[in-house]
A and B are shown apart, each in its own frame.
Chain A
Amino acid sequence: MIKIKDLQARVEEKEILKGINLEIKPGEVHAIMGPNGSGKSTLSNVIAGREDYEVTGGSIDFEGEDLMDLDPEERAHKGIFLSFQYPVEIPGVTVSNFIKTAINESRKGRGEEPMEAREMLAKMREKTALLEMDKSYLSRSMNEGFSGGEKKRNEIFQMAMLEPKLAILDETDSGLDIDALRIVANGVNKLRSKDNAVLVITHYQRLLDYIEPDFVHVLYNGKIVKSGDKSLALELEEKGYDWIKAENA
C-alpha cells in the first residue's frame, strides 16, 4: 500500500528524518515507537503532506503513485488519514457540518457524487454509537471546549466516517484515560480490514495492548533502528529507551 524509501526531511533547516525505509501492506498494523524528538510526528506530517516539512530526499509511493506531487487534500482523497496529536478548534463549525464537508469534498475529489443526506445521517448515527459518543457531539463546534479525550474520540469518529485506506494515529493515546483508550482502540479495531492499514505512532506501549500491531519499529534520531513483532514493544517497555540510545550512541 505504502512504500517509503530513504525518506529524508527537515524543518527550518534542521534535519529530522535521515533515511526512513518502511513498507506497509493492506491489512497490516504497524507501530512506530521512539523517544521524544526522534522524528515520529515529522514522519506522520510528511506522509500527510504538511508544507512546513521539506522533503530533501527519498520517496513515498502510495498505491503505485508518487505522493510528493500531491497536495494534502489530494492525499486525503486517495485515502490517507491522519489522526492529529493536537486536533484544531474550528469555532462555529459543527462536527456534523465539518464531516459532511470532508466526505463530500473527498468524493468530489474522486469524481463521485455527494453522499445522500439520509445515508450520511445513518452513517453518523452508526459511527457515534461505535465510539460511544452522545449524539449531541454532532452539533458541537469542532473541538471547541472539548476535553482531550473528546478531541481524540472525535478524530477516530472522523476516521470511521471517512473510511481511509491508511490511517495514521499520531499519539492518539496521549491524554486519554483508560476507559477512553479502550473505546478509541475498540473503534480502531472494528474498522480494521484486509483492505486497509493502520500506522500507530506512540511513545508508550500501552495503546498496543489494545491495538495489536503486526510489526513494531523503533525510530531513533531520524532512522528506524530496530524492527520486530509485538514482543519488541514489550521489550522496549521493560528496558526503556536508554537501551536503544546506548546501542546507537
Chain B
Amino acid sequence: MSDEILDEITGSEYKYGFTTDIESDTVPPGLNEDVIRMISAKKNEPEWMLEWRLDAFRTWLEMTEPEWHNVTYEKPDFQAVSYYSAPKQKKTLDSLDEVDPELLRTFEKLGISLDEQKRLSGVAMDVVVDSVSVATTFKATLAEKGIIFCSMSEAIQEHPELVRKHLGTVVPKRDNFYAALNSAVFTDGSFCYIPKGVKCPMELSTYFRINEAGTGQFERTLLIADEGSYVSYLEGCTAPQRDENQLHAAVVELVAMDDAEIKYSTVQNWYPGDAQGKGGVFNFVTKRGICERNAKISWTQVETGSAVTWKYPSCILKGDNSIGEFYSVAVTNKYQQADTGTKMIHLGKNTKSTIISKGISAGHSHNSYRGLVRVGARAENARNFSQCDSLLMGDQCGAHTFPYIEAQHPTAQIEHEATTSKIGEDQLFYCNQRGIGTEEAIALIVNGYCKEVLNQLPMEFAVEAQKLLEVSLEGSVG
C-alpha cells in the first residue's frame, strides 16, 4: 500500500512552473573572449575586472569538466548557452512602484511579495531576476550602520577597492572548472560588507530566480564580515518550468575576519525536471568561507530542487579557535541526483567543526553525501563531529555516503556517525491510527527527521523550508 501512496506523493508536479513574460536583453549563445568583453562592457566594468574575467576564461579553457562525482548527466554544451540576459529596464529604480508589474506578479506567485516582506518581516531584499538586480530595499537602515548590501555589479562600480581585495581570495579562479567559468562570465550576484564591530540588525536576503528560457545564471556572491561583526544571510531560489536543461554555476565567497560570525542559509528549489527526469536545472555551485581567528561560519541548506546538484559549502578554519558548521537537508525525488556535502579544513589551533547532514531520497533519485574533514599539520586540538543520516522512501532510490578524513596532527579528534533508515510501515500505521493520513504522516516524520537542521534556520525561513519539504514529498492531493 505505501508504495502506491509514495508513488502518488512523489509524483507531484512542480508547483512553481511558470515563465514570466518580460522583454529581455539577451546576448546570442556562445562563449569566447568577445562575449566576455561584451558582458564587461554592458556592465560598464573597469579594466581590471575585464582582465580578471579574461584570465579566468583562459584558465577555464585549459580545464576539463570534473567526473569524480556520483551523478550522471549529459554534459552541457557551453557554446549553446547565452551568457547574459537582463530584463530591459535601463534606468535605476528608486522604489518598488517602478518595477515591472509582471515581475512583481512573479514574486507574488512564489509567495514572495516584496511589500509583505518589507512590512512584516523586516527583511532587506536584493532581488535578482536573471542576473540584474531590480530592487534593493532597506538600504537606508543598513547604510546608517555602514553596512553595504548591493548587487555585485554595483559593488564593482561603487566599492572597487573591497571587491578587488577579496574577490577570488576564497575561491580562486582556477579552483575548479565551474568556478573558473563563473569567474569569466558572472553577470551579477550580491555583495555585502559588514564593518568592524557591527551586528547586522536584520536578516539579509536575496531571492534568485532563473527567468529567461535558455540562459544560464552565473551569480557571484561576496560577503565580508569585518572584525567582530555579525551577519545572517538568507538565500532562496525557485525556477520556472522549462524543457531544456539549464546550467547554474554560482560562486559564493565568505570572509569572516577575526571574531566575526557569518550565518549563511539557503533554500534551493530550482526546477528538478519532470516525472520522467526530463529537463531540470544543473546546479554546480562552489561555496566556501574562510575563518580568521575566533571567527565562525555556519552554512545551513535545505536543498529540494535541481535535476543535478553538485555543491559543497565549505569552511577553511585558518585562524586559531575558529568554528565551522554545516547543517544540511537534501531531498531528491523522481530522477533527481544530488552529490552534496562539505569540506572542513582545519588549519588553526583549537578549531572546531560540526557537520549534520540529512539526506532524503524518494522516487528513482540518488542522494550522495560527500564530505572531507582535513586536519592540517599545525592544527593542534582540532575537533570535528559529523553525523550523516539517510532516509529512504520507497525501494527505487539510492543513498550514498562518501566521508573522507585526513588527519595530520596527532591531537585531532574526529567523530563520524552515520545512519540509514526507511519510513516504516509501523510508523505510518501508528500515525494513521491516531487519525493522521499517510501524506501528513510522511510530512510529520520527515520534518521530525530534519529538525536539527531546520532549527538552525531563521524563523520565517524555517516555515518556508518546512512547506517546501512537504511540497517536494507530498502530492498536490488533499
Contact = CB atoms under 8 A, between A and B. Distances in A.
Contact of A76 (B433, B444, B449): B433
Interface residues of B, number: 24
A72 B433 contact: yes
Nearest to A103: B435
A105 B437 CA distance: 8
A99 B430 CA distance: 12
A102 B447 contact: no
Contacts of A92: 447-452
Interface of A: 48-52, 71-73, 75-77, 81-82, 84, 87-88, 90-93, 97-99, 101-103, 105-106, 109, 141-142, 158, 162
Contacts of B447: 92-93
A50 to B, nearest CB: 6
A88 B448 contact: no
A93 B433 contact: no
Contacts of B1: 51
A142 B447 CA distance: 13
A75 B371 CA distance: 46
A90 B1 CA distance: 20
B432 A72 contact: yes
A244 B1 CA distance: 38
10 shortest A-B CB distances, which residue pairs?
A92-B448, A106-B435, A93-B448, A76-B435, A72-B432, A92-B451, A102-B434, A88-B430, A73-B432, A105-B436
Nearest to A144: B448
B436 A90 contact: no
Contacts of B451: 92-93
Nearest to A76: B435
B464 to A, nearest CB: 18
B440 interface: yes
A102 B427 contact: no
A65 to B, nearest CB: 16
Given A88-B424, A90-B427, 16 more contacts: A52-B425, A71-B437, A72-B429, A73-B432, A76-B435, A81-B433, A84-B433, A88-B426, A90-B430, A90-B448, A91-B449, A92-B448, A92-B449, A92-B450, A98-B444, A102-B435
B435 A141 contact: no
A71 B432 contact: yes
For A51, A91, A92, A109, which residue has the most chain B Cβ atoms within 10 angstroms?
A92
B448 A73 contact: no
Interface in B319-340: none
B452 A76 contact: no
Contacts of A90: 427, 430-431, 444-445, 448
Nearest to A143: B430
Contacts, number: 78
A93 B445 contact: yes
A48 B450 contact: no
B445 A102 contact: no
B1 to A, nearest CB: 5
Contacts of B433: 48-49, 72-73, 75-76, 81-82, 84
B429 A50 contact: yes
A142 B444 CA distance: 11
Given A71-B432, A73-B432, A141 B437 contact: no
Interface of B: 1, 424-427, 429-438, 440, 444-445, 447-452
Given A92-B450, A92-B451, A73 B437 contact: yes
Nearest to B389: A91
Chain B facing A: main interface SS: helix
A76 B438 CA distance: 13
For A48, A77, A84, A105, which residue has the most chain B Cβ atoms within 10 angstroms?
A105
A73 B444 contact: no
Contacts of B432: 49, 71-73, 76
Contacts of A141: 448
A84 B435 contact: no
B435 A162 contact: yes
Contact of A77 (B435, B444, B449): B435
Contacts of B445: 90, 93
Given A52-B425, A90-B445, A93-B445, A98 B450 contact: no
A27 to B, nearest CB: 23
For A77, A98, A99, which residue has the most chain B Cβ atoms within 10 angstroms?
A98
Contacts of A162: 434-435
A73 to B, nearest CB: 5
A76 B451 CA distance: 27
Contacts of B424: 88
A91 B445 CA distance: 8
Nearest to B432: A72
Contacts of B449: 91-92
Nearest to B443: A101
A76 B448 contact: no
Contacts of B436: 73, 101-102, 105
A37 B184 CA distance: 72
A102 B438 CA distance: 12
A50 B433 CA distance: 9
B430 A109 contact: no
Contact of B434 (A49, A71, A76, A91): A76
Given A90-B445, A102-B435, A84 B430 contact: yes
Contacts of B431: 90, 102
A88 B427 CA distance: 6
A76 B444 CA distance: 18
A93 B451 CA distance: 8
Contacts of B427: 88, 90
B435 A91 contact: no
Nearest to A107: B435
A162 B434 CA distance: 8
A81 B433 CA distance: 7
Contacts of B448: 90-93, 141-142
B435 A105 contact: yes
A82 B444 CA distance: 20
B440 A101 contact: yes
A84 B28 CA distance: 65
Nearest to A45: B429
B455 to A, nearest CB: 10
A84 B430 CA distance: 8
A141 B444 CA distance: 12
19 contacts: A71-B437, A72-B432, A73-B435, A75-B433, A76-B432, A87-B430, A88-B430, A90-B427, A90-B444, A91-B448, A92-B448, A93-B447, A101-B440, A102-B434, A103-B435, A105-B434, A105-B435, A106-B435, A109-B435
